[in-house]
Structure 1
Amino acid sequence: MKQIHLGYALFNYGTHPAGWTSHTKDIATNIEHFKRCARIAEEAKFDMLFRADALFCHTKNIEAWSRNPYHMNSIEPLTLLAALSQVTSKIGLAGTVSTSYSEPYNIARQLASLDHVSHGRAAWNVVTSASTQAAKNFGESKIPSHEERYGRAKEYVEAVQALWDTYEDDAFVLDPSTGYHFDPKKFHPVSYSGKYIRVEGALNVARPPQGYPVLVQAGSSGPGKQFAAETAEVVFSLSRDKRAAQAFYKDMQDRVSSAGRDRSSFKVLPALVVVVGETKAEAEAYYASLEARVPNIVKLEELSLDLGVDITKLPLDRPVPLEMLPTDTNYIAGIFQAAAELVRTGKPLGEILPFYRQPSAGTPLCGSAAEISDFIEEWVADGACDGFNIISPSEPRGLETLAANVIPELQRRGSFRREYEGNTLRDHFGLPRPKSRHSKSGDTRG
C-alpha cells in the first residue's frame, strides 16, 4: 500500500475567523502553545509542520479585521520554527519566506541555520508576495506581474542554492596538526549575476545537513506551476475535487519531466481543511457553530480581498454582478479562481458567503475518523496526490482530534507510518540529498 504523506499547517487559532472565540487569552504569541502543538504533531508522526506567512497586516476596514485574526498578529516563521526545533527531534519544519521582499544572502543564512539547529529538518516554502499592502510596507506602490515575480524567484533560489554550496560537506577538517580549520580547496565563493539578483561573496555557514533544505512551492498560475516544476520538491495545491487534483498532478508530472527532473523527486500535497467528529453530523454541527459566530462584515471583507473588488456594499439577496469581476488577477491565482467560481454560480451573495469560509482550501471535509481516512486514501490511491497539507478551522482542537482519531485509523489500515523513516525531512519524504555542485565524490550523505 502506498504510504501517505501528511503536513500540518500550524495557524494561530486555525483558519476560521471564529477559531479564536474559544480562547479568552492570546495564544498567537504564546510559544508554549506552539510547543505543545509541535509535540502532538510529532507524536502523531506528521511529515512536517508548516507555518504560512504574510508580510503585512490590514490597515483598512479595521472594523471587519478587528474581528478576524487573519494576518493581524503572527510570529515570524523561521524564528518560531527554530524554537520548535528544540522541543522536537523528528518532524519537519517548513516556513514561508518571500523572495519579493528579502535578499538571498540573508535567507540562505537563516535557512541553513535552521537546518543545522534542527539537525536536518528545515523546509522553505518559496513564495512571491502577491499583496499590494506588502509592497507598500517595503516602499513600493504595487506588486510586479506574475512573470516578473517568478523570474526573480527563480534567480533567487539559484543564488541561495549556490550560497548553500559555499563549503563542501567535508570542508571543515579542524586539524590542529596542519593548522587548518577548513580545507581552502573546498571553499567556493559565489558570483551570481542575473536580471533581478546579484550576489558576490560566500556564505558564512557550513553546508546544511540536508544539502539543501527541502523546497516547497504553491504556485497555481502558469508561471507558478512552471517555477514549481523546475525547483520544488513538495508542491502545495488548491485542487477542490478529485478530477481537478488528478489533472493537476499529471500536469506537474509532465512539467517536471520536461524540466529534466525525475518524477519521483517531488510530492504533491493539496490543502485539506478537516473537521473531525464522532460522526459526520457532530463535525458539521461544530463547524456550523463556528459559522454562527462570524458577522457578515467579516465574510464580505474576506471575499472582497480574494476577488480584488469591493463587494461589501452589495445587497445580500442578489447575485454579485458578473461584470464586477476582474478578468484576471495579479493576486494569488488559485484563491482568486476559487472565489470567482463561487460568484459565478449566480446564487445570491448571502447564500454563498457561508461557503467561502476557507479561502485557502474550500469548504471543510467534515466527518468521522473513518470517513476522513477513506477520503485521504482514495485520493492517494487514485493518483490525485501523495498526501495532504492538513488545515484546521480551530486550534488546538483541530490538531488534537486528528492526532487522537484520524492518524490512528490510518496507521491501523497500514497507510501511514507508525515510526519515522529517518531523522531528516528528506528521509520522511524519500527525497535524495542534493550533492554539492563542487563535490567530486557525489556525496549524498544524510
Structure 2
Amino acid sequence: MSRQSGDRLALVAFMQAGNTSVYAGSWRHPATEHRYLDASYYADLGRLLERGLFDLMFFDDRLAMPGIHGGSVADAVRYGARPVKLDLSLVLGVLSQATSDIGLGATYSTTYYAPYHVARTFATLDHLSAGRAAWNVVTSVNDREAQNFGVASHLNPAERYDRADEFLEVVTGLWDTWEDDALVRDRASGVYADPTRVHELDHHGAHFDARGPLTVPRGPQGRPVILQAGSSGRGRDFASRWAELIFTGDPGIQIAREHYADQKRRIAEAGRDPATVKICPMAYTVIGESAAHAAERERMFLDDLVHPTASLTLLSELMNYDFSVHHLDEPITDELIEKSTGIRGLVQNLRAHIGDTVRIRDLAGHRATLLQGPRFVGTATQVADQMEEWFTTDACDGFVLAATHLPGSFEDFVRLVVPELQRRGLHRTRYTGSTLRDHLGLERPSVSRGPAHV
C-alpha cells in the first residue's frame, strides 16, 4: 500500500501490571520505580503517555506464574521472571479516571473466561472511559494456566482457535444486543428503554450457549477495539477475521514487510478492507545523547540484566514445554516444536530472522531480552529515522512500544522522540477525537441485529 500525505503512525504502549515491563530484566535497572503495587503508579504512567499523545496503552496478562520450567515457580519468583500480575479490570478502572484521552486496553483469555463476562467487562469499561476500551484477545499459552482453572492441560492450538472464533461471535453478538437508540428514559410515560430494540442473542454453538441480552447498553464506540497477536498461520487467519489492530513480533524490517503483505492479503481474503486494520510490531527504543551513549545503554540491557534462567523460565511458559532438560546450545528441532503446544510462531519468526539453526539460547533471549521486535537505538533523530523507514516502506502501520525500564523509557520517548515525529508530520500534535476509534481512524460498527427482541 502507498502512504498518503498526512498519514501518521499508530503509537501503542505495551504495559505489564506487575514487577517488570515486557523486558524481563527491567526490575533490576537502577532507574526503575518499584511502585507497581500502588494505584498512583499506573495513573502517572497513563498521564505520561497521554502527554505523548499515544493512541493506546494496553496490558499483557497471564493467568499463572511461569512454572513450566523445572515444574516449579521457584525460578520465576527467584529471578523476577514476571511472577506478579495484577487484576487488569481494577488497573484500567484507575486509568479510566486518571486519563481523559488515551485508549485503555487489557488482555483477556478466550480459553478460561466466559464470553458473557468478557463482553460485560469491556462494555462497562467503554462507558466508564467515554469510549476508550480495547480488548487484546489471547487464547492463553500453557498448562499452568489451565491448572489454575481446574483443567489438567491446555488445549492444543487448533482447538484453542476453534473456541476463540466462537467466543468472538458470542462477545460481539452480546455487544450488539442493545441498539443505539434503545434507551428512551421518558419520565412522563415511565418508559425506560424500548424492548423492541433490546435483543436476545440466543446463541447455541459447539463451545458456548449464551441467551443474552447483555446487561450493559451499547457503548460509545459501538464495540470496543479488538487487538490480536497471532503469528502462526492459524493465528494470522484469526486476526484477519477479527482484529482491528494486529500486534506482531518481527525483529527485522524485511521480515516485517513480508508479514505485513501476507497479513494484509489475508485480511482482504476475509472480506475486509486491509486499510482499516493497523499492523504494529513490538519495538524497543534506546535513546542516548549520542549514538555511542545509546549503544552503551543497549549493551547494558542485553548483557547485564536478564539472568539466563529467567530467559528459560519465560520461554518454557510461552512454549508450554519444559526447557530445563536441555542445554542452552541445543538446536530447536521440528520434533521439539511438535512437543510444545504454546506459541509456535515464535520459532518461525526467529528462523526467518537468523536462519534455520536456532538454538535454545537464541529463542530464550528472543523472548526475555530486547530481541523479539526491532530495537531502535540512537539519538532521538536516529530513532525517528528508523521508525519512519519502517512506516514508509510498508513494514508497519505504527508500533507497539515496550519499555526497557519504567517510567524512564517512556519519559525519554515522550520528551525526545515525540517532538521529532511531530516535526515530520508522523504523529499528532493534539487529540482531535473523543474515542479510541477516532484516534485510530476506525469506523464505529453498526449493530448486527439479534434474532429476537426481549
Q: TM-score, normalised by structure 1?
A: 0.90
Distance 1:25 1:403, change over 3 A: closer
Q: Secondary structure at the match of 1:16?
A: coil
**Alpha-carbon offset, residue 288 of structure 1:** 2.7
Matched, 1:332 2:343: yes
CA shift at 1:18, angstroms? 2.5
* 8 Å contact kept, 1:357–1:363: no
1:356–1:362 Cα contact (<8 Å) kept = no
Please provide the CA RMSD for this pair.
2.6
Q: Secondary structure at the match of 2:97?
A: coil
Note the alpha carbon deviations across 1:200-242, whole angstroms, 9 max, x for none: 1211111011000001111111221111111111111111212
Q: Is 2:151 the counterpart of 1:140?
A: yes
Partner Cα separation in structure 1 for residue 321 and residue 66 of structure 2: 16
Taking the aligned partners of 2:201 and 2:25, their CA distance within structure 1 comes to 48
Describe the superposition over 1:327-350 as per-residue Cα deviations: whole angstroms up to 9, x where unpaired.
Answer: 464211233435667897758877
* Corresponding residue number in structure 2 for 1:102: 113
Q: Is the 8 A contact 1:130 1:332 kept in 2?
A: yes
How has the CA–CA distance of structure 1 residues 145 and 282 changed in structure 2, closer, same or farther, with 3 Å as cutoff?
Answer: same
Offset at 1:158?
1.1
What CA distance in whole angstroms lies between the structure 1 residues aligned with 2:141 and 2:193? 42
- SS of the aligned residue for 1:390 comes to strand
Corresponding residue number in structure 2 for 1:33: 41
**TM-score, with normalisation over the residues of structure 2?**
0.89
Distance in 1 (CA, whole Å) between partners of 2:319 and 2:149 is 24
Equivalent position to 2:368, from 351, 354, 357: 357
> Partner letter of residue 38 of structure 1?
G
Pairing of 1:291-330 with structure 2 (within 5 A): 291-306=303-318, 309-312=321-324, 319-320=330-331, 322=333, 325-327=336-338, 329-330=340-341
The 1-side partners of 2:14 and 2:59 are apart by 6
Equivalences for residues 255-404 of structure 1 within 5 A = 255-290=266-301, 291-306=303-318, 309-312=321-324, 319-320=330-331, 322=333, 325-327=336-338, 329-338=340-349, 357-358=368-369, 361-362=372-373, 364-404=375-415
Determine the C-alpha separation between the residues in 2 that align with 1:88 and 1:343. Answer: 41
SS at structure 1 position matched to 2:127: helix
Q: How many residues align?
A: 438
Does residue 77 (structure 1) correspond to residue 69 (structure 2)? The answer is no
Q: Which runs of 5+ in 1 are unaligned?
A: 440-446
Question: Match of 1:442?
Answer: none
CA offset digits 1:286-343 (Å, max 9, x no partner): 2333432433332343344455555546566x55475873346421123343566789
CA distance in 2, matches of 1:428, 1:370: 25
SS at match of 1:416: coil
Tell me which residue corresponds to 1:44: 52
| Partner residue, 2:98 | 87
Deviations 1:264-300 (A, max 9, x none): 2211111112222222322232233343243333234
Q: Where do 1:143-158 residues align within 5 Å? A: 143-158=154-169
* 2:24 corresponds to which of 5, 8, 17: 17
Aligned-partner Cα distance in 1 for 2:111–2:403? 28
What residue ranges of structure 2 are gaps of 5+ in the alignment?
Answer: none
Identical aligned residues as a percent = 34
| 2:65 corresponds to which of 54, 57, 61 | 57
Structure 1 letter corresponding to 2:422: Q
- Deviation by residue 1:115-158 (Cα, 9 ceiling, x = unmatched): 00000000011110111110111111221122211111111111
- Contact 1:274-1:365 at 8 Å conserved across structures: yes
One-letter amino acid of the counterpart of residue 211, structure 1 = G
